[in-house]
Structure 1
């Protein structure tokens, strides 16, 4: 692509690089100059314009953006994404329903390394999305790009991003209570989170904060996902709520995650059903580690030690003003 000023009379078929007001009308940048434009510019006394001139191996920005988006999402239905029409070298990828983003980071980094003029920006991997949420945007920064470089980008980006929809449809919640706490706020916050994932909260059981009644409640539930909210924070893998999971015939796979707020979450199973023991910060609607774990479990992601370790990068989330032990004590 050639870029620079040329005589107006030689600009037919070129792309106008900068918007110009002439004869009281605005010619926007990016327009392909035709005879009528040349006459309009000349009549206004504009003898020179800055343009982009495509060469034999160049692909126009809109065509290039559309081709790259098609490569990234070859099957929109399977990917849970839709692509907007190309405009000014941009195509947006939008979620068609709830779920989490699943992307091939190494391939997308390589794609963005081919040419600074070929870019694809995304939300973080595993970010929870709602219907209509912007997941990524293809942007061809120049007015055209080299066809060979575009082909390389398309190959690297082939089917490299999608939405994982929720796999679990039902959940039940065990809430341990004491005389000083009514947990309607916590129940409401959890229901809102489940609603966003299309999961029905089938049953809520309130129990004393003791192993046996909590274990009995857990054993009675039939939902695909079991949740626990305790009146007293879980402080150890042998504390009351994890012990109740074991007493109900389950196992505790993880206590503690490197996400703050959300450190005191635990994850387990009763038979094949996942059990999430929520930290107290789940009572707030603010983003916390419970959101990350809940959304990934709901969407069928298997979490292991490496999964949790990766959460540490970016895992320092916004402080919740109402949390009982803020990171920095008040002076």
Structure 2
């Protein structure tokens, strides 16, 4: 054995002097040295809000998740608050859709009404609103269509108007998810011009064209009527492009940047966290949720252990906040 004075790192020692299992022997020891932990404050609860009252539609592909009118959603939001969750993310499902997604930026639209109700009942809850057109357009794409193609620049005004209408209703944060180039800048400029310089933007900066969105499209009724979204969402093969996307959103005024999905893109989360000083959000998406639920229902996985392992991996990769449909269950498990 080398002289002790020359040994500066654990690597300089060898078995049996070093036994790494010593700190794993009991749960108390493991907890004492644990490097990454999930807390309710890390979680954002996504909700699907429908127009009307007393509306509750279970989503077959997402057990335990539902579309609901705001009067019923308020009970779930109150429960989330009591469990320690401090932020929710709203997706609206209107009764009427058209070519230009007019209900997205209607002052009396489903999200705008919901935001007012929630802020009136639970003013301390952080309300984040998804800013996109896909749930509101008859064709299901995230922007205006001309000659069968999604128009980037012509869509920016409507997306910015949507964000402004959400903020006027009381939204604390707006979250553009459409992946149109220049969206963050268009929203930032309009919000600032209207006196809302204080409202943050959570940008879906690196949003991939993923198969893991399938259940969400059932929940939000937003599947494209033709084609797909690969011309504006990112190619799953690319990571350098993700850094460019995040960089552009930061330049344009994003306050929080997001990687979506999370589980298959942990390397992207890690690289974004290393490169940028902004808070990083990660979306543990519907397909990731549905996989665990299906496996657990078939007895193939321990749901609680699987969920906690997945969320821990997302936080360990660098996420500061995690949007997850598991949020309520996780908080119940954490509370014992």
- Normalising by structure 2, we get a TM-score of 0.25
- Normalising by structure 1, we get a TM-score of 0.25
Higher helix share: 2
Mark the structure with the bigger radius of gyration. 1
